[in-house]
């Protein structure tokens, strides 16, 4: 009997667009279909729950926190047929190879991650991940300023847009980030 074909599905977009919610929806459907599901998240993402991926709307799913793509492989359940990877932009660049290895073994791999950082620049491994994926869904949020579709993540510092030279990785939620459209997104250079 031949090995089943694997697939890499990427769910991307700005913060608050529903990436993790869509991941959880797909994982729950796989569980209902009696598929063996395992989910990983980066250790750095401890916003809501350490051993769960959790959407801003409150949906959650059990997850294994890992500090690297190598650790993900070490903790992979050999019985898993569906693997979820949340917040891939926080992983090392090796995550792209790991995800592709899993798909090459016949697994369905569902990856979420921000496509751009708060500056509007490509974020971490996500440009390569989306280029190598079999399926990509780019979701949009709602701009908090004008109500149009939002494709950008606005970081706020003291209620004002963060400057371009601020650190790239600052884990947070609604207290420091907003979804914004291209027109309302602002990143001061000075």
pLDDT at 51: 85
Whether 154 maps to a domain, the answer reads no
* 165 belongs to a structural domain: no
166 catalytic? Reply is: no
Confidence of residue 3 (pLDDT cuts 50, 70, 90): low
Give the domain CATH number at 89: 3.40.50.300
| Beta-bridge partner residues of 52 | 62
What is the model's pLDDT at position 50?
A: 76
98 phi and psi angles, rounded to 5 deg: -60, -45
Please tell me the predicted confidence (pLDDT) of residue 172: 64
- Structural domain contains residue 38: yes
Residue 169 falls within a domain, yes or no? no
The one catalytic residue among 87, 121, 175, 190: 87
**Is residue 69 assigned to a domain?**
yes
Q: Tell me what pLDDT residue 2 has.
A: 61
Q: How confident is the model at residue 55 (pLDDT cuts 50, 70, 90)?
A: confident
Q: How many domains does the chain have?
A: 1
Residue pair 184/159 in contact by the 8 Å Cβ criterion: no
Range of the domain at 82: 7-139
In a domain, 146, yes or no: no
């Amino acid at each position: 009997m031949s090995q089943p074909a694997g697939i890499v599905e990427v769910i991307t977009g700005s913060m608050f667009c529903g990436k993790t919610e869509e991941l959880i929806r797909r994982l729950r459907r796989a569980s209902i279909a009696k598929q063996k599901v395992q989910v990983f998240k980066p250790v750095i993402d401890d916003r809501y729950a350490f051993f769960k991926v959790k959407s801003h709307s409150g949906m959650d799913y059990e997850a294994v926190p890992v500090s690297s793509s190598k650790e993900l492989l070490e903790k992979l359940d050999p019985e898993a047929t569906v693997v979820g990877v949340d917040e891939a932009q926080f992983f090392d660049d090796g995550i792209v190879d790991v995800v592709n290895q899993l798909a090459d073994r016949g697994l369905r791999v569902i990856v979420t991650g921000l496509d751009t950082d708060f500056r509007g620049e490509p974020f971490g491994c996500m440009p390569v991940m989306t280029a190598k994926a079999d399926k990509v869904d780019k979701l949009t949020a709602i701009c908090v300023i004008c109500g149009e579709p939002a494709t950008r993540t606005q970081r706020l510092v003291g209620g004002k847009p963060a400057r371009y030279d601020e650190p790239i990785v600052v884990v947070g939620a609604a207290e420091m980030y907003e979804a914004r459209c291209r027109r309302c997104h602002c990143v001061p250079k000075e």
